[in-house]
């Protein structure tokens, strides 16, 4: 009986060419057009904008220097001159001085010092062209590597891969800094000026990563996800309209007279929507895979995200149906498909990356089904872990529960004329 309700909903939709056109053909066309039309813009920035560089220090240079001096005293002779030299050689202080003390560089680079707890937020926000993370014990390891043949120091650089030119600038600065630092440290070590070519290369390794950890996002990738999460919303309004037609023509009365509980009927709308949403996502991703060679390596996480998004859309279909039934008109689903989907698409980043316009809007977009899912899909595509997409999962789960509860509360428990 329940299966019959679902099968009927799906059959009716599949036999409606205009609906199929909107739900499947339109997103395919838009993905294709937007991928090619905006592809050039996505290949990299055409203009060099100011480099937003953030530095996160887990390290306390002075404390680390003291620790090094304390430990080094046992194995080498440290004079007071050498101690003074070492104070001038603190690596991060030199880097900051190099950037902030150079007028030309200040024109191109804006440096922000961040507290360690802000690192994750900064990575997610996409506000920075690069983030330099100086780990704990960096200064100590650095000094040890020079004087005591100790462990090689490493700091992490997170580059925003969507800003290729500015990222390259940061990389060049770091290379230059590396060379400069090697020179200075060698001079300090030996107390005499030396030819730079003859200097030993300073052993600072920088582990460079992209902000979200990694796979490059192309226009076709972005629009595959953004159009999919946008067009999935139309399934909700379509099924809700379909449900209202059943009330309008008293088919719902027949369903009730067949002793089907109203909430069973509502649940059938929700389930049919979930199935159709999963199929739609599956078809669009398959298209993108074969046409744009988009790979879905973390397929388990894609499945989780798709399932959650589909449940939210199912809840939305149920909610719109309830409002339609309650107001005895199909306006709720019409207004949703004609206005709300566009607003959700804008705020959720389906047209363009909204965070470049306003971080506040981007945050708001995370509370739209499409925004939360788009962000989640992009993260998974860039090899995020389950924990990293947990905020997206939580947002979607909250939306699913909210829509479903509202739908159940609002749905009338009898049929008939009003």
Partner 1 sequence: MIEVVNLTKKFKKVNAVDQVNFYIEPGEIVGLLGPNGAGKSTTITMLSTLIPPTEGDVFLNQKSIIKNPVSLRKILGVVPQEIALYGELTARENLKFFGNIHKMPKKKLEERIEIVLEQIGLQNESKKKVKHYSGGMKRRLNIGVALLHEPKYLIMDEPTVGIDPQSRNHILETVKRLNEEFHTAIIYTSHYMEEVEYIAKRIYIMDKGKIIASGTKDEIKSILSSENTILIKLEQPSKEFVHALLQEPMLSNVNVNEKEISFTVAKDVNFLPTLMTLSKNSGVRLKSFQVEEPSLEDVFLHLTGRALRN
Nearer to partner 1, 123 or 247 (CB): 247
Angle at CA 91, nearest 5°, toward 90 and 97?
90
C-alpha 246/C-alpha 110 separation (Å) is 60
Give residue for tokens 């990575």: 123
Nearer to partner 1, 198 or 417 (CB): 417
Q: From the CB of 268, what's the least distance to partner 1, in Å? A: 10
Instruction: Report yes or no: 332 and 324 within 8 Å, Cβ to Cβ.
Output: yes
Of the candidate residues 106, 254, 289, 293, the single one contacting partner 1 (CB under 8 A): 254
Say how many residues touch partner 1, by CB under 8 A.
24
Member of 20, 119, 260, 402 binding partner 1 (CB under 8 A): 260
Nearer to partner 1, 196 or 245 (CB): 245
Residue 210 Cβ vs partner 1, minimum distance, rounded to whole Å: 49
Nearer to partner 1, 220 or 333 (CB): 333
Closest CA to 353 of 369, 371, 339, 377: 371
Which of 82, 199, 251, 291 is in the footprint of partner 1 by CB under 8 A? 251
Q: Which stretch binds partner 1 (CB under 8 A): 245-253, 338-346, 357-365, 391-399?
A: 245-253
DSSP H helical segments within 293-413, as ranges? Answer: 299-327, 331-335, 341-347, 359-365, 369-381, 390-410
- If binding is defined by CB under 8 A, does position 261 make contact with partner 1? no
Supply the minimum distance, in Å, between the C-beta of residue 6 and partner 1.
11
**295 sits in which H/E element:** none
3-state secondary structure of 375: helix
Q: Is 416 in the site for partner 1 (CB under 8 A)?
A: yes
Which positions from 197 to 216 touch partner 1 by CB under 8 A, shown as an x/- string? --------------------
Instruction: Tally helices (H) and strands (E) across the chain.
Output: 20, 5
Nearer to partner 1, 25 or 248 (CB): 248
Among 69, 148, 256, 335, binds partner 1 (CB under 8 A): 256
What span, in angstroms and rounded, lies between the C-alpha atoms of 359 and 96? 27
User: How near is the Cβ of 261 to partner 1 at its closest, in Å?
Assistant: 11
Segment interacting with partner 1 (CB under 8 A) among 74-82, 95-103, 258-266, 390-398: 258-266
Place of tokens 């990356």: 353
Piece of 106-114, 231-239, 249-257, 334-342 that binds partner 1 (CB under 8 A):
249-257
**What is the chain's percent helix, strand, coil content, to nearest 5?**
70, 5, 25
H-type helices in 76-206, by residue range? Answer: 80-88, 91-100, 103-108, 119-125, 138-147, 164-190
Out of 314, 315, 369, 415, the only residue in the binding site for partner 1 (CB under 8 A) is 415
Q: How far is the CB of 251 from partner 1 (least distance, A)?
A: 5
Site for partner 1 in 4-23 (CB under 8 A): 4-5, 8, 11-12, 15-16
Residues of 318-346 as b/e, b for ≥16 C-beta within 10 angstroms? bbbbbbbbeeeebebbbebbeebbeebbb
Nearest CB to partner 1, comparing residues 258 and 409: 258
CA–CA distance, 281 with 268 (Å, rounded to integer): 20
Q: What pairing do the DSSP bridges indicate for beta strands 154-159 and 130-134?
A: antiparallel
| Residue of 48, 257, 343, 405 interacting with partner 1 (CB under 8 A) | 257
Q: Three-state SS for 116? A: helix
Q: Does 328 bind partner 1 (CB under 8 A)?
A: no
Single residue of 104, 259, 387, 409 touching partner 1 by CB under 8 A: 259
Angle at 391 between CA 224 and CA 118, to 5 degrees: 110
Name which position in 76, 192, 198, 258 contacts partner 1 (CB under 8 A). 258
Q: What whole-number distance in Å separates Cα of residue 127 and Cα of residue 173?
A: 19
Per CB under 8 A, residues contacting partner 1 are: 1, 4-5, 8, 11-12, 15-16, 248-251, 253-260, 414-417
């Amino acid at each position: 009986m329940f299966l019959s309700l679902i099968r009927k909903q799906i059959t009716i939709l599949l036999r409606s060419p205009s609906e199929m056109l909107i739900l499947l053909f339109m997103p395919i066309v838009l993905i294709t057009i937007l991928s090619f039309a905006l592809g050039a813009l996505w290949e990299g920035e055409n203009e060099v904008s100011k480099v937003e560089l953030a530095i996160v220090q887990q390290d306390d240079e002075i404390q680390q220097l003291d620790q090094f001096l304390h430990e080094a005293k046992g194995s080498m002779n440290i004079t007071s001159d050498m101690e003074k030299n070492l104070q001038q050689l603190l690596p991060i202080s030199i880097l900051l001085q190099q950037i902030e003390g150079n007028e030309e560089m200040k024109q191109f680079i804006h440096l922000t010092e961040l507290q360690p707890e802000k690192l994750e937020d900064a990575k997610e926000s996409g506000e920075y062209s690069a983030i330099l993370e100086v780990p704990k014990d960096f200064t100590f390891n650095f000094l040890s590597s020079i004087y005591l043949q100790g462990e090689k120091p490493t700091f992490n650089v997170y580059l925003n891969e969507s800003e290729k030119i500015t990222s390259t600038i940061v990389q060049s600065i770091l290379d230059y800094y590396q060379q400069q630092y090697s020179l200075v440290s060698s001079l300090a070590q030996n107390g005499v000026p030396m030819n730079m070519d003859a200097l030993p290369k300073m052993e600072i390794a920088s582990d460079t990563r992209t902000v979200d950890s990694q796979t490059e996002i192309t226009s076709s990738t972005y629009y595959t996800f953004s159009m999919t999460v946008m067009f999935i919303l139309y399934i909700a309004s379509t099924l809700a309209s379909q449900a209202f037609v059943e009330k309008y023509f008293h088919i719902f009365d027949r369903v009730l007279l067949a002793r089907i509980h109203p909430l069973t009927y509502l649940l059938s709308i929700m389930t049919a929507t979930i199935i159709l949403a999963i199929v739609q996502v599956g078809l669009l991703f398959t298209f993108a895979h074969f046409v744009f060679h988009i790979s879905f390596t973390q397929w388990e996480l894609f499945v989780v995200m798709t399932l959650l998004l589909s449940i939210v859309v199912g809840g939305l279909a149920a909610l719109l149906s309830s409002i339609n039934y309650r107001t005895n008109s199909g306006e709720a689903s019409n207004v949703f498909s004609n206005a709300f989907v566009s607003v959700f698409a804008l705020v959720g980043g389906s047209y363009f990356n909204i965070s470049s316009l306003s971080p506040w809007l981007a945050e708001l977009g995370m509370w739209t089904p499409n925004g939360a899912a788009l962000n989640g899909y992009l993260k998974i595509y860039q090899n995020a872990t389950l924990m990293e997409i947990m905020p997206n999962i939580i947002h979607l789960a909250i939306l699913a529960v909210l829509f479903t509860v509202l739908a159940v509360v609002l749905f009338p428990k009898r049929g008939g004329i009003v």
